[in-house]
Structure 1
Amino acid sequence: MLILTTVLTTGALTLTACGSRDDKDSGGSSGSGNTTVTIGVDAPLTGQNSATGLGIKYGVQIAIDEANAKKTVPGVTFKLKALDDKAQPATGQQNATQLVADKTVVAAVGPLNSGVATSMQQVFSSANMVEISPANTAPELTQGKNWQSGSKTRPFKTYFRTATTDALQGGFAAQYAHDSLKKKKAYVVDDKQTYGAGLAKLFKQNFVKDGGKVIGEDHVNTGDKDFSTLVTKIKNSGADMLYYGGQYDEAQLITKQLKDVGANIPLMGGDGMFSDTYIKTAGKESEGDLATSVGVPLDTVAAAKDFISTYKSKGYPGDYSTYGGYSYDAATAIIKGLGTIVKDGKLPSDARSQLVGAVQNTDFQGIAGPVKFDQYGDTTNKQLTVYKVSGGKWIAAKSGTFNAS
């Protein structure tokens, strides 16, 4: 009831609910406007998944700093409010409530984890506040729980994402494993979370459809460290690959322990394990492992050159390569959307709800690709890439799209 009351109250905020009059610069940026507007960020900034979470935070920070320096929205100074959800749904919901209660916050970027997003969507929706995730890939977040049966219904008009979904990623990974790697027998493991379990299920379905065989399945808990029983089962199964649905925190330990028992087969996963931290922790045992991720390699995109240079020169922590570009583009969509509704440096009394429509009509070339949303709030950018660990680095093996029909 406390959460609901807060949401309903903040959902009816007037002019002061979305911006505060302030002639001073804020957030360390170089803006000179007299209306301060806050863009919220929710991501795991400490603990599990924090490397990718920090990449999200600082991707938004760079977009904000640039908007202030260029005075993208005349009369408006942007600042960042980043909250740590620790990859926990309950904490994410509390953060969402805190963001909508802040009178200066007009929209939020995040979260990283699909399971966390499930707990946040209703809070933002009740406040008519835009939420754009640069990382969530669970299809049901935008297309409803019955999306696989073809009955797609958008649950929340306030929710958008710049990352494509597991409906494509799982099939893309399975196709590459079967057709390019020539793998025939896969062992499939997931972490029981919304993202991991969903991705593993889609990989399994498509791998079998392509002619492969799943000869074993298992589950782990997030936070587990000892996988000795699991890796022994995988070794004895005769599998020629392991597919893992989950984050890098567990995957980096599983692959290390798998190789230690003499099972020299590749571990493949999704964008949740596509992090330099994975390689640093797993060491040489990660050689030959694979991960799919959304989009194309950021360092191959000319439009991202300045972003990468800024991220590095600022010494920001975390991994920008996974979702940094998508978080920058998400923040840019919010900033551009505000530019269409701000008049003479002033926000309308219903700025939050107007911004929902403005973001829905987004259409520009971002640093990670085109930024445009379909009727479900999904990105129209369907590019995916398979990466392979080679020489201690993630090297792009194949980029393309996948037809899920």
Structure 2
Amino acid sequence: MAKKQISLFLGAFACLALIGGGCAVVEETPDDIISTDGEEVTEEAPIRIGWMGPLSGDLSSLGEDALAAAELAVEEVNEAGGIDGRLLELVAEDSRCNAKDATAAANKLINIEGVKLINGAACSPETTAVAPIAEQNKVIVLSYCSSAPPITDAGDYIFRSYPSDAFQGVFAANYIYNDLGKRKVAIMNTQDDWGIGLSGAFKNRFEELGGEITSKDEFTPDRKDFRSELTKIKASDAELVYFPGFTEASIAALKQVTELGIEKPFFGGDTWADTTIHESGLAEGITFVVPKTSLSDDFVSKMEARGANPTVCSPRAYDNIKLFASIIEDVGTDTEKIKEALYNTRNFEGVAGPISFDENGDLTIAEYDVFRIEDGEQVMLTK
């Protein structure tokens, strides 16, 4: 690919999150881009790729990091001359980690911006809500962070480069039972696709191993008062609390754990990798699971130069752009050919690790690491 001047199209308007407008891009470029019927488009037209994630509200830091990573990947592709001389254009929308805003974001990306490829969404409720819209319009969705097990059956156009919680829940149960030696666990999980799926996979495996679930409580993602459940758990014989929850709810719960003097260890899911939790002053001693990554120093330094966190979901948002670019370079812009190429992807080398998809658009394998917060720092417990 010929070297040419960097030209990253990120739009003319800033994110209007505070008034509910999302983060949209408006460009006076040809409407299209990727064709579903093999029609030719002008060589000068950019190849537009949609992006979705939370840029405001709970988990906004996760979304901001993922967007920074996607922007980095677009810049790198464009620096190298684009794809057959055509540049990539990223069209970003704020989906706020909920189904309602994700639906609005998807409708705008598909029906107004005309994209046929979406890098996203982040949260499982977002991707679950977007899937029927994408299927109806034959738009490819490649999530960088959605892990709820039901997404496996979301549709032919739905893929994810982030492992299913069918893996994470089993891994957490095995680790808590075998490595930590705990036999009695209380569960508190957010009441959405992600929390229900993850806690369900954990519960099934933990009980298979011979462990006991002493209690299981669910809470809405915006819940802030957990004193009733925590008081009950404090008085129980639970040896550990498994807590799949998002950032704001987790911080509120951890604050009340301290206030109530609960000394039982808390073990979380991958959302607890959010540095907002670590920096809250309430995270000392918490343990959590995240998908294993072997990030290069180059990627880490480039992300840090942008003031972004290079862990958890952001490497996969970067990898998704690079994977789309690689496939388009090979098969062109017809979405049916891109979809077929995704299903045939084997061992694509991403910064987060190799990517191979199964017949459902899920990763074929998943590996995890366990971290604990000690003296305010993440300490890896797995080898």
Pairwise same-fold verdict (TM > 0.5): yes
**CA-to-partner distance for each residue in 1:46-75, whole Å, 9 max, x for gaps?**
011111111221111111000000125121
Question: Counterpart of 1:98?
Answer: 108
The 1:69–1:239 alpha-carbon spacing in structure 2 relative to 1, beyond 3 Å, is: same
58, 62, 66: which one aligns with 1:48: 58
Question: Which consecutive residues of structure 2, in runs of 5 or more, have no partner in the other structure?
Answer: 1-29, 36-42
Q: CA RMSD in A?
A: 1.9
Q: What is the deviation of 1:217?
A: 1.7
Cα distance in structure 2, aligned partners of 1:262 and 1:16 = 59
Aligned match of 2:147 in 122, 132, 137? 137
Match of 1:18 among 33, 37, 52: 33
Cα distance in 2 for partners of 1:42, 1:78 equals 16
Query: Which residue does 1:38 correspond to in 2?
Result: 48
Quick check: 1:362 aligned with 2:361? no
- Aligned positions of 1:156-305 closer than 5 A: 156-281=155-280, 283=281, 285-296=282-293, 300-301=294-295, 304-305=296-297
The amino acid of 1:286's aligned partner reads A
Q: Answer yes or no: is 1:335 the counterpart of 2:337.
A: no
The amino acid across from 1:360 in the alignment is: Y
- In the TM superposition, what whole-angstrom CA distance separates every residue of 1:60-99 from its partner, at most 9, and x where no partner exists? 1111000000125121111211111111201111111111
Q: Name the structure 2 match of 1:12.
A: none
Moved more, 113-122 or 216-225: 216-225
Quick one: distance in 2 between partners of 1:290 and 1:272? 11
d(CA) in 1 for partners of 2:201, 2:34: 43
Amino acid at match of 1:139: P
CA distance in 2, matches of 1:102, 1:380: 34
- Aligned partner letter, 2:67: K
Partners of 1:222 and 1:112 in 2: CA distance: 15
Alpha-carbon contact 1:193-1:246 (below 8 Å) kept: no
C-alpha contact (below 8 Å) 1:241/1:268 kept by paired residues: yes
SS of equivalent residue, structure 1 residue 42: strand
Query: SS at 2:354's partner residue?
Result: strand
* Count of matched residue positions in the alignment of Structure 1 and Structure 2: 346
| Contact residue 190 and residue 219 of structure 2 kept, 8 A | yes
Q: Which has the higher contact order (CA 8 A, sep 6+)?
A: 1
Aligned residue for 2:302?
310
> Could you tell me which residue of structure 2 aligns to residue 379 of structure 1?
363
SS of residue matched to 1:45: coil
What is the CA–CA distance in structure 2 between the aligned matches of 1:393 and 1:360, rounded to whole Å?
39
Q: TM-score, normalised by structure 1?
A: 0.81
Task: Show the counterpart of 1:403.
Answer: none
Q: Displacement, 1:320?
A: 2.9
Q: Which moved more, 1:332-341 or 1:95-104?
A: 95-104
Q: Distance in 2 between matches of 1:125 and 1:334?
A: 18
Q: How does 1:60-75 map to 2 (within 5 A)?
A: 60-75=70-85
How far apart, in 1, do the equivalents of 2:112 and 2:141 lie? 15
Code of the residue aligned with 2:359 in structure 1: it is Q
Would you say the 8 A contact 1:35–1:75 is kept in 2?
no
* Gap change, CA 1:372 and 1:102, over 3 Å in 2: farther
Q: Distance in 1 between matches of 2:247 and 2:126?
A: 17
Aligned mates of 2:260, 2:307 — CA distance in 1: 38
**Following the alignment from structure 1 to structure 2, what is the Cα–Cα distance between the partners of residues 215 and 229?**
15
* CA deviations over 1:168-194 (Å, ceiling 9, x no partner): 100110111111111122111111111
CA contact (8 A) 2:33 2:45 kept: no
Any idea what SS the aligned residue of 1:292 has?
A: strand
Which stretch shows the higher mean deviation, 62-71 or 73-82? 73-82
| Structure 1 residue runs without a partner (length 5+) | 1-14, 21-32, 145-154, 400-405
Tell me, in whole angstroms, the C-alpha distance in 1 between the residues paired with 2:252 and 2:369. Answer: 23
CA distance in 1, matches of 2:242, 2:258: 15
What is the SS of the residue equivalent to 1:321? coil
1:94-135 Cα shifts (integer Å, max 9, x gaps): 111111124552311111111121110111122222111111
Q: Deviations over 1:260-285 (max 9, x none)?
A: 2111122112112221111112x1x4
The structure that is helix-richer by fraction is 1
CA contact (8 A) 2:299 2:310 kept: no
Q: Write out per-residue CA displacement over residues 241-294 of structure 1, whole angstroms, 9 at most, x where no aligned residue.
A: 11112212212221221132111122112112221111112x1x4222111112
Which residue among 311, 315, 318 is the counterpart of 1:321? 311
